[in-house]
Amino acid sequence: MNTLLIEQGDVSRLLPMAACVDLMAETLRTLSRGDAVLPLRTAVWLPDRSGLLGVMPAYLGAPRAMGLKAVSVMPGNHGTPYDSHQGVVLLFEIEHGSLLAVIDASSITEIRTAAVSAAATRALAREGAGDLAILGSGVQAGSHLEAMRAARPITRVRVWSRDPAHARAFAERESARHRLTVEPIADARAAVEHADLICTTTASREPVLRGEWISPGAHINAVGSSFAAGRELDTAAVKRARLYVDRLESALHEAGDFLIPRAEGTIGEDHIVGEVGDVLLGRIPGRRSEDEITLFKSLGLAVEDLAAAHHVYRKALESGAGVAIDFGGRRDAGR
């Protein structure tokens, strides 16, 4: 049985952001229709809690596939040459359970996470939103800048980082890449002042965005925290916003941005309006007014990795990318 090995550079080439935004929107619809099987992720923490190994299996009905992502998450890698998320996506076909592909997970995670935020932004942000603030300066900050440009007509970009040098380096790099001015801002409050799009992409376990800083009509993509004990938004920020999630069950178990305010008694489960997939299906309303604050809490889902991996695999077959190896899985008749 031939299994295709697809490296990081090929993933980036075969999964352009614009295509991935549309792909993730359809994946969120498929999930909300119930045409997927998605257990909660399993994580093994290192003894000092400096990092973890996560396993995220899933089945997706459209396109029909099953697989899993095995990924290390090392927050200490921010600001180093190493990605904070490293691993592989294993893609299986569902007739015989054969392993179709082993695909680099760093690029899939980088691209699909931002693409999901872009799909949510298209569904929830004001049509003319274009003043973008990014809190964080790592891999996801860069991919979210690209994704927000695919979702809305961005006219201004500000970036803040806990390390001002990182913000300056990001601004210089991304300004040249996108041929627009990215402003490094030393203060988080100043970075989000009057912004109508805010993306939080940090590794912080404590709030970096406070409710009193958020302007009426803003849309927020909260991306960096994916564990129950950590959050990027304070309680006031979550309370002020209409909250949407990628998946309700995951949010009720893993979203510290929601779980901590709920534990404080400030909000209840009914504060979650619903899943973005249901907005895209027309089942629940999205933004209701120009002044309303909307919040998308992204946790990152295995079905997103699976859909992205299937797309990459199909494009690799079409283009001849990747390296095929005989990985076994078929018994010889004579044995």
Please write the tens of the pLDDT for every residue from 112-161: 999 999 999 999 999 999 999 999 999 999 999 999 999 999 999 999 99
What is the location of CATH 3.30.1780.10 in the chain?
2-109+302-326
Least confident of 64-78, 193-207, 258-272, 300-314: 64-78
Look up the CATH superfamily of 2-109+302-326.
ornithine cyclodeaminase, domain 1 (3.30.1780.10)
Look up the CATH superfamily of 126-297.
NAD(P)-binding Rossmann-like Domain (3.40.50.720)
Whether the model pTM is above 0.85: yes
Q: How crowded is residue 197: how many other Cβ atoms within 10 Å of its Cβ?
A: 26
- 222-235 pLDDT per residue, tens: 999 888 989 999 99
Q: Tell me how far the alpha carbon of residue 175 is from its chain's centroid.
A: 22
| pLDDT score of 335 | 44
Helix (H) or strand (E) holding 236: helix 235-240
- 276-326 pLDDT per residue, tens: 999 999 999 999 999 999 999 999 999 999 999 999 999 999 999 999 998
What is the location of CATH 3.40.50.720 in the chain?
126-297
Angle between helices 302-319 and 105-124 (to 10 degrees): 120
Mean pLDDT for the stretch of residues 201-206: 92
Closest CA to 97 of 1, 235, 224, 214: 1
